[in-house]
Amino acid sequence: MTVLGLDGGGTRTRAAVATRAGEVIGRAEAGPCNLAAVAPVDALAAALAAADLALVGAGGKRGDVAALCAGVAGVSYAERRFLFQAGLQSAFPHARVAVEPDYAVALSGATGAMPGVIIIAGTGSAAYGENGVGASHRAGAYGYLIDDSGSGYGVGRAALAAVLRAADGTGEPTRLTARVLEALGLPALADLVPGVYGGEITRVRIAALSRTVAEAASEDDDAVARALLMRAGGALAHLAHGVTQRLFDGAAAPFPVALIGGLWSAGAPLTDVFTRSLFRFAPAAEITPPLQPPVEGAVRRALALLASA
């Protein structure tokens, strides 16, 4: 008998098949599985494609799977989550099946299923944690239309505003202007607003501008770029505070805080602000790299399903 872990996001779905001892014996990838972005039938098709490929690699079949945990983006869409889970249960009728938020399996992978906190700073932003007495809490993850402060998108959007304010004379001059135009392939600032509202400059392209901001901060020593990153570091610390205060307030024993997502590579203006703030309100926190990827966390949660049977 085996267990199956799935990590479904907006770009791809990863699958891992493991023995009951936790040894991963098959891996595969397929298409996107974000329930907020694709129909449940399409998300299910991607999940099953990844699962079947991983099972082939492990020399097994669906009937061998005793437990399955799928960590999926967009599970707040309750009806879609129900349809997706029902589809998985139908495909794996003899398995215990759980569908959980993607950040929950990310935590299990990052901390090795131990109590702790993750701070996600990718295209979006969120903080999530679980403590030793069964409590959990999430802060953020509201998406770019409501609040994605501290995310790649948030930094990129702020960069667009900064270069437009500089052109208007209402903001500081910045070397971001030339870098943003080059990154977006635009001949002039006049093309920026139509590109955003016309859909040519997508959310993903705006989020990618966070790398442009990091380059301007490190290579040009641009004050505006540094300020944008410092603001993002403070926003991420604010998310961390919401979770650590709820779960680890007054903790004396150290607990891990794992940093996940590409924005963490933006450099000292962001990380220094975050670190100073974190240790001020959570002195027992220990910043650690993720131990394992989210799909391994899904495997761990699938094994826990077996243990609780």
Q: What is the pLDDT of residues 121-164, one digit of tens each?
A: 988 899 999 999 999 999 998 888 888 899 999 999 999 999 99
In this prediction, residues 174-186 reach a mean pLDDT of 97
* Degrees, nearest 5: CA angle 25-28-30: 160
In degrees rounded to 5, what are phi and psi of residue 131? -105, -175
pLDDT(205) > 80: yes
User: Structural domains in the chain?
Assistant: 2-112+293-307 (3.30.420.40), 113-290 (3.30.420.40)
pLDDT(102) > 80: yes
Per the CB < 8 A criterion, the answer to whether 69 and 299 are in contact is yes
Per the CB < 8 A criterion, the answer to whether 240 and 127 are in contact is yes
Two structure tokens written together for 152: 């790649």
Q: What is the pLDDT of residue 10?
A: 79
In this prediction, residues 6-34 reach a mean pLDDT of 93
31 burial level (CB within 10 Å; 0-12, 13-18, 19+): middle
Q: Percent of the chain having pLDDT more than 70?
A: 100
Q: What is the pLDDT of residue 238?
A: 97
Q: What is the pLDDT of residue 85?
A: 97
pLDDT(309) > 80: no
Q: What is the pLDDT of residue 173?
A: 96
Two structure tokens written together for 205: 């392209």
Per the CB < 8 A criterion, the answer to whether 236 and 272 are in contact is no
Q: What is the pLDDT of residue 187?
A: 95
Residue 199: CB atoms within 10 A of its CB come to: 9
Q: What is the pLDDT of residue 204?
A: 87
Cα torsion 112, 114, 118, 123 to 10°: value is 40
Cα torsion 277, 280, 283, 285 to 10°: value is -10
Q: What is the pLDDT of residues 26-76, one digit of tens each?
A: 999 999 998 988 899 999 999 999 999 999 999 999 999 999 999 998 898
Per the CB < 8 A criterion, the answer to whether 155 and 232 are in contact is yes
pLDDT(95) > 90: yes
Per the CB < 8 A criterion, the answer to whether 116 and 124 are in contact is no
Give whole-number Cα distances, 190 to 52, 186, 244, in Å. Answer: 49, 9, 44
Residue 254: CB atoms within 10 A of its CB come to: 13
pLDDT(9) > 90: no
To which H or E segment does residue 90 belong? helix 78-91
Within 13 Å, how many C-alpha atoms sit on residue 51's CB side? 28
pLDDT(248) > 80: yes
* Helical H segments across 112-202, by residue range: 152-168, 176-184, 192-197
pLDDT(193) > 80: yes
Length of the chain: 309
Q: Please, what is the average pLDDT of the chain?
A: 95
Q: What is the pLDDT of residue 67?
A: 97
Distance, in Å, from the CA atom of 51 to the CA atom of 46, rounded to the nearest integer, reads 9
